[in-house]
Every structure is written in C-alpha cells, then in structure tokens.
Amino acid sequence: MWPRTQHRKLLCASLFFFYQAFAYFGGVPKNIVYDKTKIVVAKILGDGARRRTQAFTELISHYLFQERFGRSGRGNDKGKVEGLVGYSWRN
C-alpha cells in the first residue's frame, strides 16, 4: 500500500509542477524533451518506442504539446540542459 500511495503523491506533485512551470514561463512550449522517467513512460517497447502513462497522455491532450524522448546513453540529445545543471552545481 505504501509504495502505491507514494507513487500517487509523486504523480500529483509532478503534474502540479507542469502547471506551475507553464504559468511561470507564460505558456506551454511546442516541444518538451524527456528522459525515461516513470511519471512519463509506462513502458519502453522492443523497438525503443515509449508507451506513455495515462496521466501523461491526459496532460498532453490538455496542454497540446509534443513530447520528445532523449535516447538512452546519448548526452547530446539533452546536453544543453545537463550542461547547465552541471554548471549550476559547480558554481
């Protein structure tokens, strides 16, 4: 019971984060790049395609943005973000 409750709390917090981020930035971006987080990806299929979670599918249908997934082990897919995060940690 506890893991399910914790997952539900994490899901609600994550969805609220999207709401706050879109409000902060003044709108919804056309594309968002994701890693393979469990809030977004229910399952990675054999061909590398991802099956989205129900909650994330509903979020996309409400805000109408396109999701893109970074390739595992490919830092150049999301290098700017990871580089900026590393910079902020070091400084």
Strand-pairing partners, residue 32, are 67
Percentage of the chain modeled with pLDDT above 70: 76
- Enclosing domain of residue 56: 2-90
Unique residue bearing structure tokens 């900026």 = 84
By the 10 Å C-beta count (0-12 exposed, 13-18 middle, 19+ buried), 57 is classed as: middle
Predicted structure pTM score: 0.69
pLDDT tens figures, 43-67: 988 888 889 999 999 999 999 999 9
Higher-scoring residue by pLDDT: 81, 28: 28
pLDDT tens figures, 14-29: 889 999 999 999 999 9
Please tell me the total count of domains within the chain. 1
Distances in Å between the Cα of 89 and the Cα atoms of 36, 76, 81, 83, 85 are: 22, 19, 12, 10, 6
Contact 18, 60 (CB under 8 A): no
Residue 78 has pLDDT above 60, yes or no: no
